[in-house]
C-alpha cells in the first residue's frame, strides 16, 4: 500500500496516530503481560495515543471470562503502573475493548476461536505478541500460519512481536527465524529488545550524532576502553526455574548488552530510517571479533553467587552463570585494539546499568593528582541507563588553595531534572513503534544471528566444562577471575 503523506502532520505538537488495530497477546496471564504490557497499553490510552476502537485479545490456558480477565488486569495495572493512580473511568472505556480467549496454543481450535473473536471485534490490522515461554514460539507461529490468521485483508497488516530469548544458541535462532519466515515476512517480524526502547539508550544516538564534540573523540585514538555494566542487587526472585536454563550470558549479554555495545560503537547511518540504522548496528555486530576456542578462558568469565543453588526450582548442582563477563574487540578501523568489557550479574552490590567510556590520559603528566598517585585519573564519559538516567563527564580540576593539586570532579546531566516531563516506558515506545510499523528499535534477523555468533564460542566452552561454583559472595562485584581477566589487559573495573 502506498503511504500518502499527511499534510496535516505536525510532529512538534502531536504524535503520529496509532492505526486502528487489535493486539493478540499469547501468555496474557503471565508476568510480562501483567507487569509491562498491560500497564504500557493502559498508559498509551491515558495519553490518548490509542484509537477508540483499539482492542486487546488475551490468551492463556487458564479458563476465564472476559470480565474475570479484565478484573485481573485491572489489579495488575493498578499494582504495576509506574506513575499515577488508575483512572477508573478511563479503565472502564479501556477494559471494554479487552477480551480473553482461553486455550492451549497447541490446540488448533484456539486459532479458530481467535479468528472468531477478531471477526467479532472487526479489526483488520492485527499485532500478535508472543509473551509465552520461548518453547511455545514455534508452535504458536505454526498455529497462526495454519489457521491463516497471518493473512491480512487487502490494505491491512498482520505483524508479530517476539520476546527474547530469541533462540538459545545460533542454531536454534536460525531455526526459529526459518519457522517464522514460513508465516511472516521479515518486515512484519518485530524482535523486541526492550533495552533499545529505553530513552537513555536512544539518547546514545542523540549524544553521538546530534552533537559535534563527541564524535571526533569516539575512536581508538582517544578511547582507551569501554566498560558496559548491567548489575542487579537482587537474585533470581522466584524465577530460578527459567533462569537456570538461561544464565547471564544468554539472558543479558547476548541480547541487551551487545545491542547497547552496537549502539555505542556503530557508525553513523546516512539517514535516520529504520533499515539504515539497523544496517549500521548489524555491521558493528558482525565486526566483533569472534573468540577462538582457546581464547575463551582468557576473555570470558562465568560466575555464580553463593546461595543460587538453594533458590526454589534450581538444580542443586546447577552450572548456571548468574554472572558473566567478556572482553570483546571490534575489528574495524575505528575501534581496532580498544577493549569493550561487558559484565552482567545478579546479587552484585547495587542495581546499575551504565556505559563508561574511558579516554586516554593526557600525553604528559604535568600535574600530580591530589592523593599523590603517579598517574592522574582518566577522563570518563558515563552514560547512565538506570536507575538515574543521565550522562556524566569526569575530569580533573584544581583544588582550591595554593599549589596545583588536581581532583576529579563530575559534570552531570540528569534526565529527570533537565526534562521534567515523564519519559515513556520502553514497552510504550516499542508497542507504538510496532503498531505504526517502525522497526528502528527492533532487532533484525541478521542482528540476532550476528550476536549469537559472537556468543557461540563462549557457550560451547561453558557447556562442556564443570565450574567450581559458587565463586562469588552476594554483595560483591563478582568472581575474582573477572578482575584478573581485565587486569591482564592493564585495566580494572570501575566499581563505583
Partner 1 sequence: MSTTTAVQPERILKDLQQLWAQMAVDQADSGGVLRACAMTLVVVAENASDADLVRQTVGVLMHNHPSRAVILRPSGDGGGAADLDARIFAECWKPFGKSQQICSEGIEITAGRGGYAEVAKFLVPLRVPDLPVVLWCRGTHVLASAAESGLLEPLFPLADKIIFDTSQVADADSALQFLRRLRGRGRRVADLHWTRLTGWREVLAHLFDDHALRPDEVKSAQVTFGGPSVTTCARYFADWIRTALPGVKVGIAADASSASGDGPGGIRSATLSTASDNLTIALGENHCLEVSGCGRHYRSLLPSESEDALMQEELGILGPDLVYERVLTA
Rounded CA gap, 364 and 180, in Å?
Answer: 57
Nearer to partner 1, 397 or 414 (CB): 414
Distance of CA 393 to the CA centre of its chain: 24
222 binds partner 1 per the rule CB under 8 A: no
* Burial letters 423-458, b for 16+ CB under 10 A, else e: bbbbbbbbbbbbbeebbbbbbbbbbbbbbbebbbbb
- Tell me the per-residue interface mask from 12 to 31 with partner 1, x by CB under 8 A, - otherwise: xxx-xx-xx-----------
Neighbours of 414 (CB within 10 A): 13
Nearer to partner 1, 30 or 51 (CB): 51
Report CA Rg, the chain: 24
133 binds partner 1 per the rule CB under 8 A: no
Distance of CA 326 to the CA centre of its chain: 18
DSSP letter for each residue of 241-308: HHHHHHHHIIIIIIIIIHHHHHHHHPPPPSS--HHHHHHHHHHHHHHBPPPPGGGHHHHEEEE-BTTG
437 binds partner 1 per the rule CB under 8 A: no
- Mark whether 148 is an active-site residue: no
Nearer to partner 1, 51 or 378 (CB): 51
- Tell me the per-residue interface mask from 57 to 86 with partner 1, x by CB under 8 A, - otherwise: --------------------------x---
Q: Give the residue, chosen from 119, 211, 418, 464, that forms a contact with partner 1 under the rule CB under 8 A.
A: 418
154 binds partner 1 per the rule CB under 8 A: no
- Part in contact with partner 1 (CB under 8 A); list of ranges 210-218, 247-255, 275-283, 412-420: 412-420
Closest distance to partner 1 from the beta carbon of 292 (Å): 48
Which of 74, 99, 194, 256 does the annotation list as catalytic? 256
First to last CA, the chain: 53
6 binds partner 1 per the rule CB under 8 A: yes
186 contact partners, CB below 8 Å, separation of at least 6:
444, 445
Closest distance to partner 1 from the beta carbon of 79 (Å): 16
Q: Nearest-CA neighbor of 309 among 298, 299, 322, 297?
A: 322
Q: Give the residue, chosen from 71, 386, 414, 492, that forms a contact with partner 1 under the rule CB under 8 A.
A: 414
Burial (Cβ within 10 Å: 0-12, 13-18, ≥19) of residue 329: middle
Nearer to partner 1, 267 or 388 (CB): 388
333 binds partner 1 per the rule CB under 8 A: no
Q: Give the residue, chosen from 331, 419, 473, 495, that forms a contact with partner 1 under the rule CB under 8 A.
A: 419
Q: Give the residue, chosen from 71, 417, 495, 496, that forms a contact with partner 1 under the rule CB under 8 A.
A: 417
Nearer to partner 1, 155 or 363 (CB): 155
Rounded CA gap, 303 and 41, in Å?
Answer: 37
272 binds partner 1 per the rule CB under 8 A: no
Neighbours of 205 (CB within 10 A): 18
Closest distance to partner 1 from the beta carbon of 451 (Å): 35
Q: Give the residue, chosen from 212, 400, 420, 490, that forms a contact with partner 1 under the rule CB under 8 A.
A: 420
- Part in contact with partner 1 (CB under 8 A); list of ranges 7-15, 73-81, 363-371, 456-464: 7-15
- Tell me the per-residue interface mask from 369 to 408 with partner 1, x by CB under 8 A, - otherwise: ----------------------------------------
Closest distance to partner 1 from the beta carbon of 10 (Å): 5
Closest distance to partner 1 from the beta carbon of 51 (Å): 7
Rounded CA gap, 410 and 382, in Å?
Answer: 10
Q: Give the residue, chosen from 317, 371, 421, 468, that forms a contact with partner 1 under the rule CB under 8 A.
A: 421
Rounded CA gap, 477 and 464, in Å?
Answer: 26
Helix/strand/coil percentages in the chain, nearest 5? 40, 20, 45
* Residue 493: all three cell numbers together: 573495573
Nearer to partner 1, 2 or 463 (CB): 2
Nearer to partner 1, 421 or 468 (CB): 421
Residue 11 — φ and ψ, nearest 5°?
Answer: -60, -20
Nearer to partner 1, 200 or 227 (CB): 200
Rounded CA gap, 69 and 426, in Å?
Answer: 24
416 binds partner 1 per the rule CB under 8 A: yes
Q: Give the residue, chosen from 30, 31, 51, 360, that forms a contact with partner 1 under the rule CB under 8 A.
A: 51
Closest distance to partner 1 from the beta carbon of 269 (Å): 22
Closest distance to partner 1 from the beta carbon of 384 (Å): 15
Query: Interhelix angle for 137-146 vs 170-181, to 10°?
Result: 10
Determine the size of the site formed for partner 1 (CB under 8 A). Answer: 25
Do 323 and 233 form a contact (C-beta atoms < 8 A)?
Answer: no
Q: Which ranges of 395-479 does DSSP label H, i.e. alpha helix?
A: 415-418, 426-436, 445-463
112 binds partner 1 per the rule CB under 8 A: no
Closest distance to partner 1 from the beta carbon of 207 (Å): 17
Rounded CA gap, 293 and 271, in Å?
Answer: 38
Residue numbers at the binding site for partner 1 (CB under 8 A): 4, 6-10, 12-14, 16-17, 19-20, 48, 51-53, 83, 414, 416-421
What amino acid positions are annotated as catalytic residues?
Answer: 256
Amino acid at each position: 500500500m502506498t503511504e500518502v503523506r499527511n499534510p496535516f502532520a505536525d510532529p512538534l505538537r502531536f504524535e503520529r496516530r496509532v492505526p486502528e488495530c487489535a493486539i493478540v497477546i499469547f501468555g496474557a496471564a503471565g508476568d510480562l503481560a501483567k507487569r509491562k504490557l498491560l500497564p504500557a497499553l493502559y498508559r498509551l490510552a491515558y495519553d490518548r495515543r490509542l484509537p477508540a476502537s483499539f482492542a486487546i485479545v488475551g490468551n492463556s490456558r487458564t479458563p476465564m471470562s472476559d470480565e474475570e480477565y479484565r478484573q485481573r488486569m485491572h489489579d495488575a495495572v493498578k499494582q504495576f503502573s509506574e506513575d499515577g493512580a488508575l483512572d477508573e473511568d478511563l479503565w472502564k472505556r479501556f477494559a471494554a475493548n479487552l477480551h480473553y480467549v482461553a486455550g492451549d496454543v497447541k490446540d488448533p481450535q484456539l486459532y479458530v476461536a481467535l479468528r472468531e473473536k477478531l471477526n467479532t471485534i472487526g479489526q483488520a490490522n492485527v499485532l500478535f505478541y508472543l509473551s509465552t515461554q520461548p518453547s511455545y514460539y514455534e508452535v504458536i507461529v505454526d498455529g497462526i500460519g495454519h489457521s491463516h490468521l497471518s493473512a491480512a485483508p487487502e490494505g491491512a497488516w498482520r505483524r508479530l512481536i517476539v520476546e527474547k530469548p530469541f533462540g538459545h544458541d545460533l542454531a536454534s535462532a536460525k531455526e526459529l527465524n526459518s519457522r517464522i519466515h514460513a508465516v511472516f515476512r521479515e518486515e512484519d517480524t518485530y524482535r523486541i529488545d526492550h533495552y533499545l526502547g529505553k530513552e537513555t539508550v536512544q539518547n546514545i544516538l542523540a549524544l553521538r550524532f546530534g552533537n559535534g564534540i563527541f564524535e571526533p573523540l569516539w575512536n581508538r585514538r582517544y578511547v582507551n576502553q569501554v566498560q558496559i555494566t548491567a548489575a542487579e542487587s537482587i537474585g533470581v526472585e522466584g524465577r530460578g526455574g527459567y533462569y537456570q536454563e538461561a544464565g547471564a550470558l544468554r539472558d543479558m549479554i547476548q541480547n541487551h548488552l551487545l545491542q547497547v555495545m552496537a549502539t555505542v560503537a556503530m557508525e553513523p547511518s546516512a539517514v535516520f530510517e529504520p533499515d539504515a540504522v539497523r544496517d549500521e548496528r548489524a555491521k558493528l555486530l558482525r565486526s566483533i571479533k569472534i573468540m577462538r576456542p582457546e581464547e575463551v578462558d582468557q576473555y570470558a568469565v562465568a560466575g555464580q553467587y553463593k546461595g543460587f543453588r538453594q533458590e526454589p526450582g534450581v538444580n542443586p548442582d546447577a552450572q548456571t552463570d548468574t554472572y558473566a563477563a567478556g572482553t570483546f574487540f571490534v575489528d574495524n578501523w575505528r575501534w581496532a585494539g580498544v577493549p569493550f568489557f561487558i559484565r552482567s550479574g545478579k546479587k552484585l552490590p547495587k542495581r546499575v546499568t551504565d556505559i563508561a567510556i574511558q579516554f586516554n590520559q593526557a600525553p604528559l603528566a604535568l600535574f600530580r593528582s591530589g592523593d599523590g598517585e603517579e598517574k592522574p585519573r582518566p577522563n570518563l564519559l558515563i552514560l547512565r541507563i538506570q536507575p538515574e538516567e543521565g550522562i556524566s563527564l569526569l575530569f580533573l580540576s584544581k583544588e582550591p588553595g595554593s599549589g596545583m593539586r588536581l581532583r576529579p570532579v563530575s559534570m552531570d546531566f540528569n534526565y529527570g531534572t533537565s526534562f521534567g516531563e515523564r519519559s515513556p516506558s520502553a514497552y510504550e515506545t516499542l508497542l507504538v513503534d510496532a503498531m505504526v510499523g517502525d522497526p528502528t528499535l527492533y532487532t533484525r534477523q541478521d542482528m540476532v544471528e550476528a550476536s549469537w555468533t559472537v556468543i557461540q564460542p563462549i557457550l560451547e566452552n561453558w557447556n562442556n566444562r564443570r565450574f567450581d561454583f559458587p565463586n562469588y559472595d552476594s554483595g560483591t562485584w563478582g568472581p575474582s577471575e573477572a578482575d584478573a581477566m581485565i587486569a591482564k589487559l592493564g585495566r580494572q573495573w570501575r566499581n563505583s
